């Protein structure tokens, strides 16, 4: 239990506010590898730059937000895991996040220990790519990343929960 003391109430309030912010940042750092932000992407078939290890393709973000470190899968192909987003570019400039409606280029590297998946063999342009969420990732988003989520992101979480049959 942390005890705060100060001569002036405003200093006490400031100290407590700073403590809460620091605690939240610490927890976000701790849970950032567990928290998976929801996203749904449509492949742009004219922008296939590399079809395997790493997959480098152009996509349109149809819903949610894509962040680096997001594990991606293809629900229509028996939930095949295609890898983790390691890089996002817009007009040859690297960005950390891509939001709904943006056309971006993503680099998807295979999951260590798994055989690399290939565009054209394991999934096609007609398939929709979604982030692979779990109960733990949803709980981490609720607890520590609520301020980074939009209402539409929560609606996509509800939709993906049905797809992945998460209770």
Q: Tell me the HSE value of 149 on the side-chain side, using a 13 A CA sphere.
A: 22
45 and 115 co-located in one domain? yes
Q: Tokens standing for 116?
A: 């690399």
Per-residue pLDDT reduced to its tens digit, 143-159: 999 999 999 999 999 99
Residue 74 within any structural domain of the chain: yes
Give the pLDDT of residue 2.
86
Residue 110 CB contacts under 8 Å (≥ 6 apart), including other chains: 53, 54, 82, 83, 116, 117
9 and 49 co-located in one domain? no
Domain count, the chain: 2
22 and 64 co-located in one domain? no
CATH number at residue 122: 2.40.30.10
2 and 61 co-located in one domain? no
23 and 45 co-located in one domain? no
Residue 160 within any structural domain of the chain: no
Per-residue pLDDT reduced to its tens digit, 23-72: 999 999 999 889 999 999 999 999 999 998 899 999 999 999 999 999 99
Residue 138 within any structural domain of the chain: no
Nearest residue to 160 (alpha-carbon basis) of 53, 70, 47, 57? 70
Residue 150 within any structural domain of the chain: no
Domain that holds residue 79: 40-132
Q: What is the pTM of this model?
A: 0.86
72 and 115 co-located in one domain? yes
Residue 144 within any structural domain of the chain: no
């Amino acid at each position: 239990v942390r005890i705060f003391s100060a001569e002036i109430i405003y200093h006490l309030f400031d100290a407590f506010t700073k403590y809460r912010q620091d605690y939240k940042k610490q927890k976000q750092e701790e849970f950032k590898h567990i928290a998976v932000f929801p996203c749904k992407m449509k492949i742009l078939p004219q922008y296939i730059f590399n079809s395997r290890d790493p997959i480098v393709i152009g996509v349109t973000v149809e819903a949610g937000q894509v962040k680096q470190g997001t594990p991606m899968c293809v629900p229509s192909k028996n939930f095949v895991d295609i890898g983790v987003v390691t890089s996002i570019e817009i007009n040859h400039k690297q960005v950390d996040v891509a939001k709904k409606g943006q056309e971006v280029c993503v680099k998807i590297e295979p999951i260590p220990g798994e055989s690399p998946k290939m565009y054209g063999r394991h999934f096609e342009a007609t398939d929709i790519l979604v982030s692979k969420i779990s109960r733990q990732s949803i709980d981490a988003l609720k607890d520590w990343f609520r301020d980074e989520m939009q209402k539409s992101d929560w609606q996509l979480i509800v939709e993906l929960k049905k797809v992945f049959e998460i209770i």
